[in-house]
Amino acid sequence: MTNEVPSQHPFKVLTKPTHVGFLLLQNFTMMALSSAVEPLRMANQLSGRELYSWGLVSSDGQPVKASDGISVAVDHSTKTAPAFDTLIVVGGVDITRSCNRAETEWLQLLDRRNTVLGGICTGAYALASAHLLDGYSISAHWECIAALKESFPKVNTNSRLFTIDNNRITASGGIAPMDMMLHLISMHHGNVLATAIMEMFVCDRMRNPADQQKIPLRHLLNTAQPKLVEIVELMEANIEEPIELCDLAEFAGISRRQLERLFHNYLDCTPSRYYLKLRLERAKQLLKQTTMPIIEISAACGFVSTPHFSRCYRKYMNQSPRQERAGTWNEKADEGYEEVLEGETLFMDEAPSAKRASPRSEPSFGSVKIGSTGRSVMSATGTYL
């Protein structure tokens, strides 16, 4: 599986309406369908002309029941459906039993006709089972990722919100299809229209193909690794004053080498890099959701200096902290702040932490008692637990 975001795609600025079909599988998720259709509707409304048309399809032309129990009428069966420019499979619950032979054969026919094929929520599973995703990079809901990797090793499954890889477009569940459709609308008809649609939907930003799903750690590991889960939870609970790696290993009752091996085998990175990623993701949340000055966010996320934070953020997020806030409701929170990006190293050992917060809560101060080692840690108030 490649870690790079696919950049090649067949989409260009369009001068004629695009006809999009949505194949509804049994127990599809209504949110995924709405998130994909509504941006198309709003594109037509705001532009004052028909940029997109769409139709709903089922294998037999009969209504399809969504995962919330609502039956949705469709416009066509797979036998009577017109030619679509793009066909998106809408998946949902129990996807391994949702796609029948008629739907698979129809998808293969569309592929031979060079139709752009896509899947949202777990819809990519149906495309993969038809061998239409072999060699492609694709996104799917995090609950489906492990099954996809196991069942279809030729498919490059990732954990990103959405992926556009040549003539394949795939998105994870929830509202991620909206981000994908907004991205396509921007490519088809310009960023001004896509931004206007976001404003109508009270959406503060259009997430991009590099953004990751927030996957529960226990599911991501897909195995029983309680020590690793414990260590990551400690990291997540101690962002402001990071714990040294040797202390993390001691708290978990393992050696430093065992700690590094766990991260390499199951998270494909070093402990230091993973800890840095957690801190930068927390910083991104604070940048987007608060009016804290960047210098305070830097300290709150455990960086020894604001320049060091700024350089790390630019390296990992591909833009500076100030650029992250540009155009948002809180962009003036940093007036007078000047970023300094020189003279800092990207990775460095952090100062030892005096705080040890509970891994299952995130108070401003606290402590944790590590039962596996019997070691008591001093709390922020100076008492031993």
Domain boundaries in the chain?
A: 18-200
Specify the pLDDT at position 222.
56
Q: What is the mean pLDDT of residues 206-226?
A: 74
Residue 329 has pLDDT above 80, yes or no: no
Give the residue among 136, 192, 161, 121 at the shortest CA–CA distance from 9: 136
Which CATH number is 18-200's, of 1.10.760.10, 3.40.80.10, 3.40.50.880, 3.40.50.150? 3.40.50.880
Specify the pLDDT at position 135.
97
Specify the pLDDT at position 66.
97
Cβ–Cβ < 8 Å for 283, 301:
yes
Specify the pLDDT at position 219.
65
Residue 54 has pLDDT above 90, yes or no: yes
Percent with pLDDT over 90 in the chain: 59
Residue 139 has pLDDT above 70, yes or no: yes
Tokens 């909206």 correspond to: 178
| CA gap 33, 189 in Å, rounded | 22
Specify the pLDDT at position 250.
94
Specify the pLDDT at position 375.
37
Between 347 and 312, residue with greater pLDDT: 312
Tokens 């630019």 correspond to: 314
Segment 271-311, tens digit of pLDDT: 999 999 999 988 988 888 778 899 999 999 999 999 999 99
> In which band, very low, low, confident or very high, does the pLDDT at 340 lie, cut at 50, 70 and 90?
very low
Specify the pLDDT at position 214.
74
Render 208-251 in DSSP notation, one character per residue: -TTPBP---HHHHH-S--HHHHHHHHHHHH-SSSPPPHHHHHHH
- Phi and psi angles of residue 244, each rounded to the nearest 5 degrees, phi first: -65, 150
Q: Which of 189-198, 231-240, 322-331 has maximum average pLDDT?
A: 189-198
Between 89 and 207, residue with greater pLDDT: 89
Specify the pLDDT at position 2.
41
Residue 187 has pLDDT above 60, yes or no: yes
| CA gap 37, 167 in Å, rounded | 19
Between 363 and 155, residue with greater pLDDT: 155
Between 331 and 178, residue with greater pLDDT: 178
Percent with pLDDT over 70 in the chain: 79
Specify the pLDDT at position 106.
96
> In which band, very low, low, confident or very high, does the pLDDT at 12 lie, cut at 50, 70 and 90?
low
Specify the pLDDT at position 355.
42
Cβ–Cβ < 8 Å for 137, 9:
no
Specify the pLDDT at position 385.
27
Specify the pLDDT at position 16.
86
